[in-house]
Amino acid sequence: MDTTMNIKRDSSNVWPYVIAGSAIGGAVGYLFMTESGRKIRHAITHPDELVDNIEEARTFLETKTRMVTDQVHNVLQKAKHGIEQGERVYRESGQRYQTRVQELQGRTVDNVNRTATTIGHEVLDPMVELGALYRGIEHGIRTLLGKQPRTLRMMGD
C-alpha cells in the first residue's frame, strides 16, 4: 500500500519536469531545425552584425517613411491644386455669367429703345402728319367755303 502511494506522489512531481523538458526541447528544435531559428542563433553568436542589421533596418524604415510622406504630400498638393483650380473656374464662370447677363440687359434696353424710336418715326410720325394734314385741309376748305373754322380740339376734349 505504501508503494502505491509513493508512485502517486512521485508521478505528481514529474509533470513540472515533463513540461520544462518539452519547452526546452521545443526551443532547441526551433533554434536548430528552422530557418528562423538559424537566424536567431546567428544573431546571438554575431552581435556586431545584429547592430549593423538594426542600423540597416532603421535606415530602411527612415527611407521608406520619407518616401511615403513625400507621396502623401504630393497627393495632398495635387488635391489642393485641384480644389484651387475648381474654385478659380467657378469664380470665372460666375463672372462670365454676370457679364453676359449685363450685356443681354444692355442689348434688350437698346433693342427696346430702337424699337420705340422706329415705331415713333415710322408709325406715329406719319399718323401725326396725316392728322395735321387732314386738319389743315379741312381748315382750308372751311375757309374757302366761308364757314367758320372749327377750333382745334385736342383728343380727349
Q: Which three cell numbers stand for residue 139?
A: 381748315
Q: Which residue has the higher pLDDT, 81 or 39?
A: 81
pTM of the model: 0.36
Tens-digit pLDDT profile for residues 10-44: 566 777 888 888 888 888 888 788 888 888 777 77
Question: What is the dihedral sign for C-alpha 100, 106, 111, 112?
Answer: positive
Amino acid at residue number 25:
G
Higher pLDDT, 14 or 82: 82
* pLDDT tens by residue, 130-143: 888 888 888 888 88
